[in-house]
Chains A and B, each alone.
Chain A
């Protein structure tokens, strides 16, 4: 059953009482919350996602709840509980939905060593995938959101999940986390897309989530072959450029920014080696999203540059 098959009122009632069993890519999360903003954003941004009819097993059992006591009145807060344990300090109540997204990322990144998990966005077209690593503030999410509204399928905007056996990328297709200026840029660039509430003054500035396309959610069991690793960088007024990047540097960066590269030990090294060997690695500078989309639609399939 899809989330959208429940009315918002039914959805929030179920979320509050026995919780929902939400499928995102290979993971099932049992989520409970009585916080209205969490229910509202979930039913809006996850409306194409599946609710499991069998509620026997969940990978993660999580709850978001308001701090009790006096604080409830003068400085309301939201807490995250991971099956009864509270690993993080509370956040202001207004950040309840961003907290849900961050903590679900944490659950996945910390409990899934059957995969190699990179801190990167990933998109796919014709079965071939681009991995977009890059430090925060480089326009990675903006580019990922832009491409996913122009014919590319979203795999993930934050966690690139690689299956160790065949090194396929598994889709996660969750809302795209946009920060600060990107929020308005994407609202203008994709007027048809659905956006959640903007949360102000979080640790990462203003944050809003953009709903993933229906197509990427429906196809979230379809894996993709990693083919390019591209480090994007938004530089205002700069000419677009795609330049080869050293594989050694790419390896080191990807390893340092993977969530569980070192936990995987030798397996991690072998998987990363295989990944870097089988991908074309580039640096990419852009200042205009349309140009960027055009470039991505003609990415070279051999190690030569055709800008």
Chain B
């Protein structure tokens, strides 16, 4: 492992940015850009009053990213407004997930966060009506071959992404937070029982505070391929700090809820790595009460993988094993997603299509 990547250091201790030389700024900007965290870095510089200490060359890049992030706030708000208008007639709760949820609830995790897709959650039986209605308002399924369409609709926890014909906004419409074939089965019904309304909107909701964290943890440690690993871990850190500050029962609540939703393992990893990389203050007794560490040799091995894959995706943060660690976690994410007898034919087909059909770019 390469010691302390400069981006992680700057994110956890923004004060060090006061004394970086130009060469270090060059590296910091590059790592932040590849990790999709330039907007976040800019937010930290503002909040800590560091602007006067930053060389102009670096400020150009930070403010360029901030302009994108600002613009995106307007765009996402407008798209959410359109979605809500479109689905008004259906009388089903519209639940925002991830980035859009953080933004509309005004959470600190949204500051400077750069994302484009809007994630939504519905009951499975409502999906059909939702998709048809969104189609009427201009959101069409993205182009995909028949295999991928079928794959999504049979095995996944979401339908193929929808894209607006004019504005090109992309919606990911989910009916669960993990695929049906996954080894864990968090019940969507239970998530919907606790949703909380978004202020200023009629029929718009987010998951409850604890469920928001659990979803983020699940996405990162049980489902994702970690391409935005550090960015997602920053989300978790921001959510955990914010919620635990305002609610003394938060830690106990989340441990109980994780148990209820079968998500204790992803939560354990979330606690462990946000604490390890970003110094998130997790009470010791909470980590032990989760009691989810895998057996020792496996824990050691997973640690080697996650510690590498959660670093920014930049050559300066890689060591000789980073490539293989990312690849193993990619395989793991698929393995957790579906049983072996489904996985093997799927991956073989994907490999074949990738090799011989250049149009295939999905999953």
Interface residues of A (CB under 8 A from B): 28, 54, 56-59, 61, 83-85, 89, 111-114, 262-265, 267
- Taken together as a complex, chains A and B put the C-alpha atoms of A85 and B34 apart, in Å, by 8
Shortest Cβ gap from B342 to chain A (Å): 30
Residue of A whose beta carbon sits closest to that of B64: A113
The answer to whether B64 and A84 touch across the interface, beta carbons within 8 angstroms, is: no
The answer to whether A84 and B60 touch across the interface, beta carbons within 8 angstroms, is: no
Stretch at the interface among B65-73, B120-128, B247-255: B65-73
Residue of A whose beta carbon sits closest to that of B70: A265
* B-side contacts of A85, CB under 8 Å: 34
Shortest Cβ gap from A22 to chain B (Å): 15
Q: How many residues of B contact A (CB 8 A)?
A: 25
The answer to whether B67 and A83 touch across the interface, beta carbons within 8 angstroms, is: no
Q: Which 9 A-B pairs have the closest CB atoms?
A: A113-B67, A56-B22, A113-B64, A56-B23, A57-B26, A57-B22, A265-B71, A84-B315, A57-B57
* A-side contacts of B55, CB under 8 Å: 57
The answer to whether B71 and A84 touch across the interface, beta carbons within 8 angstroms, is: no
Shortest Cβ gap from A161 to chain B (Å): 12
Shortest Cβ gap from A90 to chain B (Å): 11
Interface residues of B (CB under 8 A from A): 21-23, 25-26, 30, 33-34, 55, 57-58, 60-61, 63-65, 67-68, 70-71, 74, 313-315, 358
- Taken together as a complex, chains A and B put the C-alpha atoms of A58 and B119 apart, in Å, by 36
The answer to whether A114 and B64 touch across the interface, beta carbons within 8 angstroms, is: yes
Residue of A whose beta carbon sits closest to that of B315: A84
* A-side contacts of B64, CB under 8 Å: 111-114
> Would you call the interface of chain A mostly helix, strand, loop, or mixed?
loop
* A-side contacts of B60, CB under 8 Å: 59, 112, 114
The answer to whether A265 and B74 touch across the interface, beta carbons within 8 angstroms, is: yes
Known: A56-B23, A114-B67. 6 other contacts (CB 8 A): A56-B21, A57-B55, A58-B26, A263-B68, A265-B67, A265-B74
> Would you call the interface of chain B mostly helix, strand, loop, or mixed?
helix
The answer to whether B33 and A83 touch across the interface, beta carbons within 8 angstroms, is: yes
- Given A114-B63, A264-B71, decide whether A83 and B57 contact each other with a Cβ distance below 8 A: no
Residue of A whose beta carbon sits closest to that of B26: A57
The answer to whether A57 and B30 touch across the interface, beta carbons within 8 angstroms, is: no
The answer to whether A83 and B30 touch across the interface, beta carbons within 8 angstroms, is: yes
- Taken together as a complex, chains A and B put the C-alpha atoms of A83 and B32 apart, in Å, by 12
* B-side contacts of A113, CB under 8 Å: 63-65, 67-68
- Taken together as a complex, chains A and B put the C-alpha atoms of A214 and B199 apart, in Å, by 61
Shortest Cβ gap from B201 to chain A (Å): 22
Residue of B whose beta carbon sits closest to that of A164: B67
* B-side contacts of A84, CB under 8 Å: 34, 313-315
* A-side contacts of B61, CB under 8 Å: 59, 111
Q: Which of A28, A61, A263 has the most CB of B within 10 A?
A: A263
